[in-house]
Structure 1
């Protein structure tokens, strides 16, 4: 059975919006890159990517089956995901919200510890867990292909987007931080743009009828 391409595109847009929203992964990678260099940031990103793979496999082999086996599980996850997107939108729009480019001072760590810290940061990141456990299942439609294949396709799409965006951020962290320090209006514009996008997605998700 052929996996429909519409859902990966839609899920990819959601994943892009979420990866551009400040969270633990972004703050950690930026701080690490600025404090210890681009290579350290990219090594940490490797750990983050492994965390995404872990969540993807959990969703592919467990959560997706639960969604279609238990009555109302789909609606429960859909509404939970919508509520979390609204929370992310509020985090972006609330007064005095923290900019991800506010650097935290981090110690000089070995490559092994950098990788491990990236992994742990992502595994403990509620945004990553919510993305796979609540958002991913609703983009799966058994009538359009094998559920496991769709799960892997959607998860791989998200991982590719997240790794690409975060790698660009890690590499250019110092330049971006310096630019935004001189142009604070860009931070405000980014917060309002992402808050509006995520809020719109949340509303659409909440009112969407079950397929």
Structure 2
């Protein structure tokens, strides 16, 4: 059954481009971290608070835990690579990223839609900077969301292609598949 590959233990044979996608997700999330931290520093000064920068900071940390943990486990502890945990983490990451960039795009469109702020120049400049930073977070977040969907599809297809787990490199289980191989040999004589 192909779905049994999603709950197996061990690293599946992933395509070569998978590592580049995951590293791109991690690097772009570092950019989001900087932009969201700057937007958070702007959002608390005046009369508005959106919550978008805080959520993007959470999504960035979640992304590091999911994709960084997946890479670390894949290369340094493959015996602890549970595919179902990676699958759930990637699904939640995709949900968080679509929520984050959509929310950021909504706030950026709202803030940048004002032509005349009817307020002090200092507040107007802060509003514009917050809107532009949030718009940048929305654009890069949309790119990260697309990359996380591609990574999720590649992971699921690799898991369902071969449901067998990768070798764990455990010396104690190396010969577990052939117990008492010499005792199970039987000789049969054919009648002449």
TM over 0.5: no
TM-score computed with the length of structure 2 as normaliser: 0.35
Q: Which has the larger radius of gyration?
A: 2
TM-score computed with the length of structure 1 as normaliser: 0.33
**If each structure's helix is expressed as a fraction of its own residues, which one has the higher value?**
1
